[in-house]
Chain A
Amino acid sequence: MTLVTDVAAAVCLLLGAFFSFSAGVGVVRFDNLLSRMHVVAKPQVLGLLLLLAGVALRLQDRGSATMLLLVAIFQLMTSPVAAYMVGRSGLRTRCVDPAVLEIEEDEFPAREAGR
Chain B
Amino acid sequence: MMLAVGVVATTLLAVGALLAVVRIERGPTMLDRTVAFDVLTTALVGAIAVEAAISRRTESVPILVVLSLVGFIGSVTIARFAAVEPPKNGTAAQRSGPRPGAGAAGGAGPSAPGSVGFAGPNAGSGGSGVEPGPDPADVTGRKEES
Contacts and interface: CB of A to CB of B under 8 A. Distances in A.
Given A20-B42, A78-B72, A63 B58 contact: yes
A51 B5 CA distance: 12
Interface residues of A, number: 64
Interface string A15-40: 01110111111011000110011001
Contact of A14 (B5, B83, B125): B5
Interface string B17-49: 111101100101101101110110011011001
Kindly state the interface size class of chain B when it binds its partner: 35 or more
Given A86-B35, A94-B100, A104-B114, 11 more contacts: A13-B9, A16-B46, A17-B8, A17-B10, A33-B31, A40-B35, A44-B39, A59-B58, A93-B83, A98-B96, A99-B114
Interface of B: 1-2, 5-6, 8-10, 12-13, 15-20, 22-23, 26, 28-29, 31-32, 34-36, 38-39, 42-43, 45-46, 49-50, 52-54, 56, 58, 61-62, 64-65, 68-69, 72, 75-76, 79-80, 82-85, 94-97, 100, 112, 114-115, 117-118, 120-122, 124-125, 135, 138, 141-142, 144-145
